[in-house]
Structure 1
């Protein structure tokens, strides 16, 4: 499937219009309901297959951010064969009490995986915590870059944003 065909399918499955408040606090008149493409196993598999070619050489672990990055990283791991870590927003006070569950990240090159990036704020926070745990994080990979400052915010933290699609890609498919 081509990227433009994939963009059309994502747009058809997840594009909503109305008045939406984003995680960043910004308001938007259009919204891509990520759960609609993450909850469709056939579409999610096609997304992960397309994203696999964007994984930088040398990546040792894929780290999916809670919550939207988890289905994406799991599907992407199937296509790359790379081990996955699930990154919580906050470590639990019980069980293993770990921030990053699954694959070990210390001393390894880790690619942060997210579904939709707006400001990049959660990636910045999670990357700082992963780096403090010994991870080598240089890039983040997302399904959709909303093109609202995330690339620049991440670059200021020495994180290169890679995206399968941008908001412009999805608008041109409508």
Structure 2
């Protein structure tokens, strides 16, 4: 799957973001002991966007690029409210909402079970154009749950933004497109590899194995004990 960067600005923003993530050691390559995602996919790569909250300069630059990307791709007056997905999306939603001078809410993964038993905290965005923000996405499943919760509350949701999109698992864009949701992101694993070509963050052997994964993530996942087809992920999600 291509990284879907559509302009020189997008490509520059992707490289800057990838370099920032590499500098703060948010990028993890572990081909010898693959990571397992909740969807069942096996992967030799893992990105920890939560580390961004600890690094003021990196997070300031990433949030600056995020606000600009949203404006360029969707519009500077396209939204009434920013929604963060629990939990990793909450700080990014707050920073982006501040830059865009918009109110912010957050969406729980499930109702807290006491008090108002609310799924949405802050205010109910009924009739408001809402942007869902999270730190990253692999196959888009969590975005669907959050967007469904927002729509059930009356929000108008057609866009979601993430700092990092894996950009390799089949069906990600298509699943969201069926729900009329556009996915916007700053960078992907392909951008990380591009930066690693000129900066020696990882060994050549690790990079080669990561590239094999990116070239065919379904086969790589299946060969390493993970799921090997999009329908398997969907079945696991429903279980």
Pair in the same fold by TM > 0.5: yes
SS of the counterpart of 2:154?
coil
Aligned to 2:158: 138
Gaps of 5+ in 1: none
Higher helix share: 2
Q: Distance in 2 between matches of 1:63 and 1:16?
A: 28
Where structure 2 has 5 or more consecutive residues not aligned to the other structure, the ranges are: 1-11, 197-239
When the two chains are superposed, the root-mean-square deviation of aligned CA atoms in Å is: 1.5
Residue 96 of structure 1, CA deviation: 3.1
Distance 1:95 1:43, change over 3 A: farther
Deviation at 1:5, TM superposition (A): 2.6
State which of 177, 182, 195 in structure 2 corresponds to 1:160.
182
User: Which residue of 8, 14, 21 maps to 1:10?
Assistant: 21
Q: Which has a greater percent of strand?
A: 1
Structure having greater relative contact order (Cα 8 Å, sep ≥ 6): 2
Larger Rg, first or second structure (1 or 2): 2
Report SS of the residue matched to 1:113: strand
TM-score scaled by structure 2?
0.68
What SS does structure 2 have at the residue aligned with 1:48?
helix
Q: TM-score, normalised by structure 1?
A: 0.92
Aligned equivalents of 1:103, 1:82: Cα separation in 2:
13
Cα distance in 2, alignment partners of residues 125 and 99 from structure 1: 11
1:24 equivalent to 2:39? Answer yes
Q: CA deviation at 1:23?
A: 2.8
Q: 1:43 to 1:103 in 2, by over 3 A?
A: farther
Shift in Å at residue 95 of structure 1?
Answer: 3.0
